[in-house]
Every structure is written in structure tokens, then in C-alpha cells.
Amino acid sequence: MPLLEVRRLDVGYLIPGEGLFARPRRLPIVHDVSFDLDPGRTLGIVGESGCGKSTLGRALLRLNPPSGGEVLWRGTDLATVPARALRRQRAEFQIIFQDPLAALDPRMTVLASVTRPLATFAPGLGARAREERGRAALEKVGLGSDFAGRYPHELSGGQAQRVGIARALVGDPKLVICDEPVSALDVSVQAQVVNLLMDLQDQLDLALVFISHNLAVVRQMAHEVMVMCLGRVVEKAPRGAFFAAPLHPYSQALMAAVPEPDPHRERARRGTAIAGEVPSVLTPPSGCVFASRCPRAEPRCHGERPALRPLQGGRSAACHFIEGTS
């Protein structure tokens, strides 16, 4: 049985209506997402800003409730778990954040931040035992005990992100959602954090959901890649196959948008940037989510939404121009 099974998940936000007594409206963000995740594996989720990657990540942990579909954790639908039990169970699935400094309470020491979740996850533990586990978690992420008493404003971005990882690890999780964990860090520090996450995955057999818009990092970390556009999955493929030849025009466009280090090739590459505006989530297109910006779009693409069809080699894509296997 996979660790995490996501079935046709929809997620939306409630936004307040106009005026005090108006009914709040639901703004749909994520539509019809399904995938499985096994222990020790990494799913990379890529897509441009605002495509619903982070919203999806939080819904997987029930930090915001899904509006449709289900999330099965080891076979149990998380929606059926009572609130109190769910709080305990959160030890098993954790999250690390994009802005590592904002993710730490400025008035708490590093050790206090790291050990805080143990009050819920291991309520029987004494103060001494909790502190020991906190220090052990800090050790795991390469922070010595002299960091324990520091405050967030005394940390660098990379150190703060390590503290965030230590806090996620303190309850011995099986799954960690990494929501753009390196995009706020210096490039040199990014590599350290990526390597740390990969080492920890090997040691602890962690499953990771790695949300990022940085394709190079996803290529290094992920076993499988899922591409999202405007809240829908447009392509899903094993890492090797995806980076060898992305099928969906949106995936191809994302890949082409990665800057080239060589200035000559970079100049030759000009003009491949995605043209056009991203459609608003308030008025989603009735056809393909990428149609308004797709170089290959035909009238059919605007009128009819392509389904995510399984293809050869365990991949799938949602595009009228890609032939399905079925």
C-alpha cells in the first residue's frame, strides 16, 4: 500500500463575501489531482507561481481542508480522523517552508521551536527527554548544540532552514512536504540544503513532496515529476523520461524558460519565453488551461478540456495532440 494516495483532490479557499452577512464564496484553486507516493520516494511538483502547488501541498496535510476528493494516509481517509487524533498523527507528515525565517517564531529559541511539537506528539515525554530529542534533531541537520539557545534573528537563512527541517523531523515523520524550501536561499546554500534533504531521505526512508519552480533542483531530487498549470495536472512522468523529453507544450515551455549559463546560446534562445498572460483563477478557461498561451493551440483546445491520459512508460499528459495508449 502506498504511503499517501491522493484521489481526485479539489481544493479551494473560502473568500469573504461582500458585506458582513454575505455568504463566503469558494474560490477553486486545485482541480482533480491524483497521485500515489511510496516511502523513500520524491514527487516533484513544478509549475509557475500561482498554479496551486503550495495550496495542494497544504491540503495534503489538511492544513486547509479539501473541497472534494480524498487524501488517504496509509489507507485511511484523513477527513475521517477526528481533530484530536489528527493533531497527534501530524507527527507522521510534516512541512518545511519557503521563507525559513518567517517560519520561526522570533520570540522562541531554536531549541524551543524544535521541541514545541513534541508537546503534542509525545505528551508523555518529560522536559529533559524532549530537550534531548530536540538536540538530536538539530544534530541530524548539522547544527551543533551551541545553536540551541539562539534566536531566529541570529541565524542565517540556511541555518534557519535547517532549524525548520529539524522541527519537521523531531516527531519522526514518514512524509515531508517541502514547499519551495530552497528558493529563498543563496545558491551556495541551496546545494547544501538539497544535499541534506537527500541524505535524510536515505537515512530515514522519507517520502518527500518537493514543490518548486526550480527545474534543476527538481531534476536532482525527484523520482517523479508532476507539472501543474492553473490548478490542474498537465503532465506526470518519471524523472528521466520527463527531463529527456517533456511532452506537454507547457512542460516544454517551462523547460525552455530555464536561463542558459552560456551567453551565446542564451541569446540564440531568445523568444522562447512563454507569451501571453496567465488566465485569472476567477475566470478559468473552459478548455485547456494552457490554450491561451500555447503555440500549438487550435480552436478545439479552447473549447474542450483535454483529460489527463495515461501514456507509455508510466507517464501521462493532458493534451489533445498527444496520443494516449488506451
Q: Which of 30, 229 has the CB closer to another protein?
A: 30
Q: How far is the CB of 42 from another protein (least distance, A)?
A: 19
Q: How far is the CB of 204 from another protein (least distance, A)?
A: 18
Which residues bind to another protein, rule: CB under 8 A? 14, 16, 20, 24, 58, 61, 63, 87-88, 90-91, 94-95, 97-99, 102-107, 109, 113, 116-117, 119-121, 149-151, 153-154, 164, 167-168, 171
CA–CA dist 141, 159 (Å, integer):
9
Q: Which of 85, 307 has the CB closer to another protein?
A: 85
Q: How far is the CB of 84 from another protein (least distance, A)?
A: 9
Specify the residue for cell string 498561451.
Answer: 293
Q: How far is the CB of 119 from another protein (least distance, A)?
A: 8
Q: Which of 34, 109 has the CB closer to another protein?
A: 109
Q: How far is the CB of 50 from another protein (least distance, A)?
A: 17
CA–CA dist 3, 119 (Å, integer):
25
Q: Which of 89, 220 has the CB closer to another protein?
A: 89
Q: How far is the CB of 252 from another protein (least distance, A)?
A: 33
The region that residue 52 occupies, defined by phi over 0 for left and psi between -120 and 50 for alpha, beta otherwise, is left
Q: Which of 91, 193 has the CB closer to another protein?
A: 91
Report in angstroms the alpha-carbon separations of 93 from 2, 11, 184, 265, 322: 14, 19, 23, 43, 36
Q: Which of 160, 226 has the CB closer to another protein?
A: 160
Q: Which of 180, 224 has the CB closer to another protein?
A: 180
Q: Which of 65, 310 has the CB closer to another protein?
A: 65
Q: How far is the CB of 32 from another protein (least distance, A)?
A: 25
